[in-house]
Amino acid sequence: MSRSVVIVGTGRVAPGIAAAFAAIDCDVVVTGRDDGRASSCAAAAGTLVGADVRCGGLVPETFAGARLVVETVVEDLAVKQDLLARIEPWLEEETLIVSNTSSLPLDEVAARLRDRTRFAGLHFLHPAHLTRVVEIVAGTDTAPQTIEALLELAVQMEKRPIVVRRAVPGYVWNRLQMAMLRECLALVEEGVADAESVDAAVADGLAPRWLAAGPLATADAGGIATFHEVARQLFPAIASGTEPPALLTQAQRSGGLYDWTDDEREALDPVRRDALKHGAEIAARRPRPRPRTVTE
């Protein structure tokens, strides 16, 4: 099978996804409804990794010989269903189809596909060419060999595959991110601390500790009995709302939680790149004890 990958979508995350595949010498083509946006996206992807990334029209010829098709269009169920139903007849039988969604029900995204055994979720973290993890998600009908092929690709991209055994809303990474965000917003909204202090508690406190060992391993190494007692005391007090808090709604309407200058926004990207680079170096040294089966 060829190493041709077609990226369908030209939004914010698409250049990084295209670049991640181009970096392992895949023949990458970007396509979408707007040829101009596809061309710009392909050029941006090529610049990210110094590789040739092509663009093509949303036509059968673009998909000829593709090994993998990555759907990353707008998070609208009907749009995704229509797109996948449209392009499936253009694909060879062995071509894998994946969606970058993390918020829509995976089985519903695939509902109009004739062959759902070759379909799965492949959720990249932004920016996809730099982040170290990718979520691989099986739908109800996904064949084991489809997951195996995606695992192989993840390893080739030097990413840590997060295999999601059940396609729950948000999968793993977004659920963790949103759980933390909910508590951070509650602390600010309730006047416990200001936004800068809450961000510092995570960025300068929790994040470095969790880089050395994730939250579960940290609890284990730090004394599981202590964490059990603290959980017993704090869990009833932690934010558990099911709607976006008022602070987030107000921030969305007013333009955010911080007043960013253009220079500050531009300065964030290189800092993030350095953090991801150093994080990868530390992760390579991280102890990896074998998980224990916890029983009653």
The catalytic residue positions are: 123
Residues 13 and 100: beta-carbon distance below 8 Å: yes
Please report, to the nearest 10 degrees, the dihedral formed by the alpha carbons of residues 29, 130, 12, 189 taken in order.
Answer: 160
Which sign, positive or negative, has the C-alpha torsion 266, 268, 274, 276? negative
* Cα pseudo-dihedral 265, 267, 271, 273, rounded to 10: 80
Question: Residues 132, 48, 171, CA angle at the centre, nearest 5°?
Answer: 35
Rg (CA), the chain: 21
Q: How far apart are CA 84 and CA 114, in angstroms?
A: 10
Which strands make up the sheet holding 96-99, listed edge to edge?
54-55, 27-31, 4-8, 68-71, 96-99, 119-124, 133-138, 160-164
Neighbours of 247 (CB within 10 A): 17
Residue 115 near residue 88, CB atoms below 8 Å: yes
Instruction: Determine phi and psi for 197, rounding to 5 degrees.
Output: -65, -40
Phi, then psi, of 243 in degrees rounded to 5: -125, 155
Q: Are strands 119-124 and 96-99 parallel, antiparallel or unpaired?
A: parallel
d(Cα 21, Cα 129) in Å, to the nearest integer?
8
